[in-house]
Structure formats: structure tokens, C-alpha cells
Amino acid sequence: MKKNFYLCLFGLAILCLSAVGAAAAEVRDDGDRIVFGSIGEASNLIPYLTSDSASHEIADLLYVAPLRFSRDLEPEPWAAESWSQEDGGRVLRFTLRKGIRWEDGEELTAEDVAFTYRLVTDPATASPYADDFLQVREFRVLDRYTFEVRYDTFFARAVSTWMNPILPKHLLEGKDIRATSFARRPVGAGPYRLKSWEPGSRIVLEASPTYFLGRPHITEVAYRVIPDTATMFLETRAGRLDVMNLSPEQYLLQTSGPQWEKEFAKYRYLGSLYVFLGFNMQHPFFQDRRVRRAISYAIDREDIVRGVLLGQGIPAFGPYKPGTWAYHPALKAVVRDLPRARALLAEAGFADHDGDGILDRDGKPLSFTILTNQGNEQRILTATLIQYQLRAVGIDVQIRTVEWAAFIHEFVNKGRFDAVILGWTITQDPDIYSVWHSSQAHDGGLNFIRFVNAELDSLLERARSVPDREERARLYRRVQELLDEEQPYCFLFVPYSLPIVQRRFHGIKPALAGIMYNFEDWWVPRDEQRYRP
């Protein structure tokens, strides 16, 4: 008995020491600054008014939402303390945490969520994200912290709708959302707040001491605008950037050796992104499906993956990530077939009537310009390869690059292009209504190529209202088949994501969600910190 007593004490002591050791191991120092390289500058820090990734990356640190994705890409509460789905998913009820504060000290409440909902659905806001919110039949504030949303039918994106940022009612109510200075001087309730913005140069955020989950460990986050990836790489190598996304060449050939391994950690995983060549459907050539299909058959995607990505990616045939439940199990990326491309062009009435090597019809040469953004060498190289490949079937291609902000606002949003090379993030839910439905085919809409197809509209409408995953998968398989038949985009490739991070940053835990999902938990040991803001 006595022996057992001492054994228990000994065991308890070991457990206590282990707990102390574990606690000590979990101590994380505060301080330091992390510097990201960004190809483009944020255009607007009101996230409902812009679709560019540079703006959203920063906004994700400034604001909070009721829900967010976990490391395993499952929904989890964030600003919400709890949430539930009822009546077959047609009713969602959320209870917000008490004591969440905007940076000016006001408490965040259900009235802020209601205001955000009304703002986004207001036609005057003209938000490209309004559609998800417009599916709500009724929004009710039940008390200071609780709200409820009702849908007429099951809506597949209902849960992810409430992963969008909450905006402050007390600062924006009654303001012209498209003219307010809030876009450049935002007030959020997230882990960071805006410290400074030097247009064309950098944006600096600082850790919020009032963030409801606790002040982030890294004191400052800086985004340096460097519109050229080669220059960005040199800045990273010189130690003036801490994080950047590497090109395949940089990943495979330029970041090897003891010094790189000592200073940096590299990561590699299939990205949630696809790159495409999109056709402007208002262009007379591209209104003919045969021309679009011919161009697709003339493109060698395997050659692009080898030549541009150095093998760090896979050819794409549609808008979904390989291995996900909506991905078509039978379709394959279009394989280059020059005889078929030539036959389709001849069927469409094109021939080389004047012997100059370029096809023409009714006296007009089959010539167009591919537009893409400056500084993105991957897209520029892709355009160059496509230019060379299409020449083999008698198509003349010019290439034009434009600075990012002008590229989006003056050309893409206004439909001022022949064809464009761009990329789309692959969302966790396969609902692609906002990019492909005809209702989005307008200036500022995400269907900026103006592709209108009645069957596609019907499929997208049905698929977002069906709760059964197998039925949704069947509908999305037909969506992919239709896009394959019509080729409004030439889907090109899904690249690997190749981030590199300075090794002094600890707490990085790669997962299905990538590496940034737990950014507020990253930290730097005090003896390794380089900056004392």
C-alpha cells in the first residue's frame, strides 16, 4: 500500500514535470516584423468592393467573420461563439462572442452583421459578392449577439457566405461606400490593424492589442509592392523579404545549397488555383465556338507545364482541384491536335487567302492580343508559348502587359480585351455561379468574358440548391463537360504552390489549408528577432 502510494506520487511528479516542460515548450515570444513581397498593390480595403488577391490578403488580417475554415478546411466558429443549421439547412443561427471590439473601442454586435448584409445586397454597392447574400430570404437580429438567416431552399454556399468579413455599422452607415475614405483607412476587429500605407510602395499592419483571441505574436506585418518577381527574389535573397512565392525555376534551381537551407524553409503543395486563357465573347472571332475549340486544340498544355512550370504543376481541363469531390473523374486536359485545330478553323471559314502565313476571313486576319499583368513572369511566359504554338495553325497573337491595378480596373472589369491570361482561386465549395452565371456578365462582374449559356445557368442554379452531395457532383460533372465543349476558357494548368519562409519564423504547420491559416500563431524567438518596432 505504502509502496503504491509513493509510486503514485512519483508518477504524479513525472506528470507535473512533463506538464511544466510542455508549458515551457509552448511559450512563444512576441515581437519582430514579417515582410511579404506582393506583385500588386491592394486597391481597396473594403473587401466587398474588390476581387484582387492583394486586397483580400490584407483584409483577411483586418476583419473577422462569424466562421472561418480550419486547417482541415472544415467550417469552425470565429467571431461566432456557436452556430447551428436547422430545417434541412434552410435556417442558420449564430451567436457572436461577447466583448469583441472594433479598433475604436465600440463593441461588435449582431447589428454590424445585419448592416454588412444590407450593404452588400444594396444595388448601389454593386458588390461582385452580392449574389450569395441575395439568396437570404430573411435576416433577423434576435438579440444583441444573435442573428438568424433563412433561405427559401437549401443553398449550398450558405455556410461559406458567413465566412465573409463583418463591417462596422457605426462608421459606415449613411456613407457612400464607393467614395468613403474607409477604403484607405479601415477600422476592423481582426488580429491586425492598419499602421501605414505608402501608395505604390508598402502597407504596414500592426498587431491589435484588442483582438479577442489575443494579440498576435508578430508585432508588424509589411507588404512590399514589387511588381517584378525577379526583383522580389533578389530582395528575398538579400534578407529584405521574409516570405514570397517562388517560381519553379527559383524553387528547383536557385534556392539550393547550405546557405539557403540554413536561412529559409521551402514548401510545396498543389495550389488551389488554376490559370486560364479567357476569350472575350463580344469579340467577333470568339463568338464562334469552333474558333475557341481550335485554339484550345492548338495549345500544348504539357509543353507549358514543362517549359513554364518546369514540371511544378499539372494540366487543367476545368475549374476544380484534382482529387476533390466535384472533380470530373473521366475528363482529361485537352491534348494538342493540330489537324483537328486546322479543320475547325477551315470549317469556320478561315484560310490563308493572301499567302502570308496568317489565316483570314472576309479580308480580316485571324489576329488577336493576349492581355496579362506586368511582373507575373509565369503568365507572360505562358502567353509567349501560346503565341508560338498558335502560329503553327496560322493564328497571329500579340502580347500586352499592363500594371496590375489598371489591368483589373481599366481592362478586365470593363471588358476591354481580346483574350486574357489570369488565374482563379479554387474555392472550397464547388459553386462557381459568381464567375459563370449570365447574371454576372456585366462591367465589374466576375463573368468578365461575358459568357452566356442557358444550360450552364440552369445547372449552376440547381447545383447550389441541392443538399445531396452525389447529386451536386453529378450536376457539376455536367458543368465541366459543357465548359469542355464550349471552351470559353482554355483551362491551362494548376500550379504547385511554392512558398519560401525565413526560418526564424516558428509555428508554421502545413495542412490542407496551406500554411497561412494559423498565421496569428506564428512567432520568432527573441534572440532571433531582427526588428524592434
Helices (H), 392-439: 404-406, 433-436
At residue 231 the predicted structure's pLDDT band, cuts being 50, 70 and 90, is very high
Confidence of residue 376 (pLDDT cuts 50, 70, 90): confident
Which of 8-17, 122-131, 139-148: highest mean pLDDT?
139-148
The answer to whether 276 and 521 have CB atoms below 8 angstroms apart is no
Q: Is the pLDDT of residue 136 over 50?
A: yes
Buried b (16+ CB within 10 A) or exposed e, 124-163: ebebbbbbbbebbeebeeeeebbbbbebeebbbbbbbbbb
The pLDDT value given to residue 228: 86
- Which pLDDT value is given to residue 513? 86
Does position 527 have pLDDT exceeding 60, yes or no?
yes
Fold topology of 273-496 = Dipeptide-binding Protein; domain 3 (3.10.105)
Q: Is the pLDDT of residue 24 over 80?
A: no
* Per-residue pLDDT tens over the stretch 167-210: 999 999 999 999 999 999 999 999 999 999 999 999 999 999 99
Please report, for residues 47, 230, 373, 412, 531, the alpha-carbon distance to residue 406 in angstroms, rounded to integers and kept in the order given. 18, 21, 9, 9, 34
**Tens-digit pLDDT profile for residues 67-108:** 999 998 899 999 999 999 999 999 999 999 999 999 999 999
pLDDT at 128: 87
Q: What digits encode the pLDDT tens for the residues 39-70?
A: 889 999 999 998 788 999 999 999 999 999 99
The stretch 508-521 carries a mean pLDDT of 92
pLDDT for 2 equals: 34
> Which tens digit of pLDDT belongs to each residue from 425-439?
888 889 999 999 999
- Do residues 298 and 349 touch, judged by C-beta distance below 8 A? no
Domain span(s) for CATH 3.90.76.10 in the chain: 64-183
CATH value of 64-183 in 3.40.1080.20, 3.90.76.10, 1.10.287.3510, 3.30.565.10: 3.90.76.10
Using pLDDT thresholds of 50, 70 and 90, give the confidence band for residue 23: very low
Type and span of the H or E element at 229: helix 229-237
Average pLDDT over residues 2-20: 35
Give the tens place of pLDDT for each residue, 300-340: 999 999 999 999 999 999 999 888 899 999 999 999 999 99
Cα angle 407-413-415, degrees, rounded to a multiple of 5: 95
CATH class of 192-268+498-528: alpha beta
pLDDT bracket for residue 375 (50, 70, 90): confident
According to the model, what pLDDT value does residue 111 have?
98
Q: What percent of the chain has pLDDT over 90?
A: 85
CATH 3.40.190.10 domain span(s) along the chain: 192-268+498-528
Ranges of H-type helices in 250-403: 258-263, 289-298, 301-307, 338-347, 377-391
pLDDT of 19: 38
Higher pLDDT, 376 or 341: 341
- pLDDT over threshold 70, residue 360: yes
Residue 367 forms beta bridges with which residues? 396
Q: Where in the chain is the domain with CATH 3.10.105.10?
A: 273-496
pLDDT at 26: 61
d(CA 50, CA 361): 39
Cα(498)–Cα(269) distance, rounded to whole angstroms? 7
What value does the mean pLDDT of the chain take?
92
**More confident call, 423 vs 532:** 423
| pTM, two decimal places | 0.79
pLDDT beyond 50 at 21: no
Q: Is the pLDDT of residue 17 over 50?
A: no
How confident is the model over 471-495, as pLDDT tens digits?
999 999 999 999 999 999 999 999 9
pLDDT at position 10: 32
* CA of residue 415 relative to chain centroid, distance: 21
Q: What does the pLDDT read at residue 13?
A: 35
